Amino acid sequence: MSNFPWLTVLWVLPAVGSVAVLVLPAAQRTLARCLALGISLAALVVAIVVAVRFEPGGAQYQFVEDHEWIPSFGAGYTVGVDGIALVLVLLTAALVPLLILAGWNDEREVGSVVSSGPRAGASGGRRVVHTYVALSLMVEAMVLISFVSLDILLFYVFFEAMLIPMYFLIGGFGPRSADEQLRRQRSRAAVKFLLYNLFGGLIMLAAVIGLYVITAREGLGDGSAGTFDFRTVVAAANSGQLGAGPTVLNALFLGFMFAFAVKAPLWPLHTWLPDAAVAATPSSAVLMMAVVDKVGTFGMLRYCLMLFPDASGTYAPLVITLAVIGIIYGALLAVGQTDVMRLIAYTSISHFGFIILGIFAMTSQGQTGATLYMVNHGISTAALFLIAGFLVSRRGTRVIAEYGGVQKVAPVLAGTFFIAGLATLSLPGLAPFVSEFLVLAGTFSRYQVAAVIATGALVLAALYVLWLYQRMMTGPVKEGNERLYDLVPRELAVVVPLIAALLFLGIYPKPVLDFINPAVGQTLTTIGRQDPAPSIPSLPEAGAEGRHK
């Protein structure tokens, strides 16, 4: 079984599953849901097997599969996983079954371009469930292969391809409304998401081609061809064999970085995220923010830093400045929101700022914290956004002012919302605290001013989370909220694992850190970075003489 293609099975399962769901008879809605859930659970089992068999102290990339794909271009089907990719694979594989379960009845509550046109009621309109879950599985497959790819062209293809199913999830499925203006807003949000990310991908494509030309010129591939093999290019980049000047390498870095900064998103390229988050169903929004957007921060850590170590150091102060602005900006805008779902979306902009800050601090604590933050943000955002979505589906409005007294009529919903909110503000004892502490500590050792300013977001986070809870959950029961009911068993099956993960990783993050730490150490060694030596201020000479006296 040592040569079994675990990573191929990992992403092929949801890809084939999405097709299998689509070919089911239109009337088999429940079977479509169950099949999608079963396939996503099977992918989770494969991910767990990979994690159990992974050796943290072993080779940097494990479960490597290497096959020819386009030999004339030097592109291959090469996949492998390190500790950083592994924890993101586990996050993706664990979240998707919960999202399918959370969106089990979404087709009853959403409007779809499939079913809202002139042929509504025809065969196309009856396949809303099939399309919805199939698109979710296809997004999962493309994200998984992006995390495990060790071929730059293979990564790029799926980095771009995942935009298509995500576009249809945003634009084709959203809260049902008779308001034509709201439908147009949803369509605009989907187009904005697609155009922003396609433009970023186009810039990255130019950089990918430029990098390939350099590898061909230096004879890194077979014959006259260049190579897209990530490990080969990294080795050449860090040994000075690429033969390109700093100006060219800086330009290539910016091409990759721009695409990842749009996907992540990094301020000021973030404006598509709040619109897309509120336009989609809660499950699709979580899939986008907690899973798809992580490909952007993962790309920064793997491709920007390891392919262009010198350029990364050159532009690190600029990226850190933008990250700190995003941290404060996202938190400030979250405070002023009147829409609960948009508020949570802005918190994600702030959190992505912390992740990028930790990556470009280029310290072991910072990058370990950033990677752990990717995992913890995925869990905490999923919990908060889904619970808010359950509440909005009951009440029918996202306006915060329409709520009040919810804890009296739905105490379990209010209680879990409170815990998820406390995780969002990084309360000690909950998972995000550990990652945020590591990011700030790792940043402070190299960029003290940035770390101090970013710490101010903690106060803002406490403000927007506690004020949100106070307005929505406490006080007298407002008119229209009397008939709100508590979480049902299906919703509890989604929320309880997320809350449990927040508590467990907040108290005992070691299992995840055991995968991350060796990979971060190998990354820093590859790019030739070391942690700054701790400095201890010396006492003034006069003070020392005074003590002797």
pLDDT above 70: percentage of residues in the chain: 90
**Domain, as residue range, for 507:** 308-532
Flag whether 510 is in a domain.
Answer: yes
The answer to whether residues 64 and 150 touch, using CB atoms and an 8 Å cutoff, is yes
Q: What is the spatial distance between Cα 127 and Cα 381, in angstroms, rounded to a whole number?
A: 29
For the stretch 1-51, pLDDT in tens is: 468 899 999 999 999 999 999 888 888 888 989 999 999 999 999 999 999
Q: Which residues of 357-383 are buried (b: 16+ CB within 10 A; e: fewer)?
A: bbbbbbbbbbbbbbbbbbbbbbbbbbb
For the stretch 459-492, pLDDT in tens is: 888 888 999 899 898 888 888 888 888 889 999 9
477 vs 97, residue with greater confidence:
97
Q: Is the peptide bond preceding residue 268 cis, with omega within 30 degrees of 0?
A: yes
Mean pLDDT to the nearest integer, 216-225: 74
Strand partners, 472: none
Flag whether 24 is in a domain.
Answer: no
Q: Which of 113, 101, 105, 90 is nearest to 43 (CA)?
A: 90
Q: Note the Cα 270 to chain centre separation in Å.
A: 14
Q: Please check the confidence at residue 548 and state whether its pLDDT lies above 70.
A: no
Q: Which of 253, 309, 51, 287 is nearest to 165 (CA)?
A: 287
Mean pLDDT to the nearest integer, 494-499: 95
CA separation, residue 445 to residues 171, 304, 435, 450, 457 (Å): 44, 22, 16, 10, 19
Mean pLDDT to the nearest integer, 526-541: 68
Q: Please check the confidence at residue 158 and state whether its pLDDT lies above 90.
A: yes
pLDDT above 90: percentage of residues in the chain: 52
What pLDDT does residue 238 have? 83
Q: Which pair of structure tokens corresponds to residue 152? A: 């730059």
What pLDDT does residue 72 have? 78
Place of tokens 């977001």: 457
Q: Which of 311, 349, 360, 354 is nearest to 453 (CA)?
A: 354
Q: At what angle do helices 448-473 and 411-424 cross, to 10 degrees?
A: 170
The answer to whether residues 386 and 283 touch, using CB atoms and an 8 Å cutoff, is yes
| 171 band by pLDDT with thresholds 50, 70 and 90 | confident
Flag whether 42 is in a domain.
Answer: no
The answer to whether residues 177 and 183 touch, using CB atoms and an 8 Å cutoff, is yes
Flag whether 407 is in a domain.
Answer: yes
Q: Would you call 187 exposed, middle or buried from its count of C-beta atoms within 10 A (0-12, 13-18, 19+)? A: middle
Q: Please check the confidence at residue 358 and state whether its pLDDT lies above 80.
A: yes
Q: Please check the confidence at residue 218 and state whether its pLDDT lies above 80.
A: no
Q: Which of 48, 6, 24, 40 is nearest to 137 (CA)?
A: 40
Flag whether 508 is in a domain.
Answer: yes
Q: Please check the confidence at residue 231 and state whether its pLDDT lies above 50.
A: yes
| 159 band by pLDDT with thresholds 50, 70 and 90 | very high
Q: What is the spatial distance between Cα 418 and Cα 414, in angstroms, rounded to a whole number?
A: 6
Flag whether 381 is in a domain.
Answer: yes
Q: Which of 490, 501, 273 is nearest to 380 (CA)?
A: 501
Number of domains forming the structure of the chain: 1
Flag whether 212 is in a domain.
Answer: no
Place of tokens 């779902």: 341
| 64 band by pLDDT with thresholds 50, 70 and 90 | very high
Mean pLDDT to the nearest integer, 515-524: 90
Apex 367 CA angle, 452 and 90, nearest 5? 125
Mean pLDDT to the nearest integer, 266-289: 88
Mean pLDDT to the nearest integer, 236-262: 88
Q: Please check the confidence at residue 445 and state whether its pLDDT lies above 90.
A: no
| 530 band by pLDDT with thresholds 50, 70 and 90 | confident
Q: Please check the confidence at residue 546 and state whether its pLDDT lies above 50.
A: no
Apex 242 CA angle, 236 and 243, nearest 5? 145
Flag whether 523 is in a domain.
Answer: yes
Q: Which of 489, 484, 502 is nearest to 414 (CA)?
A: 484
For the chain, the average pLDDT equals: 86
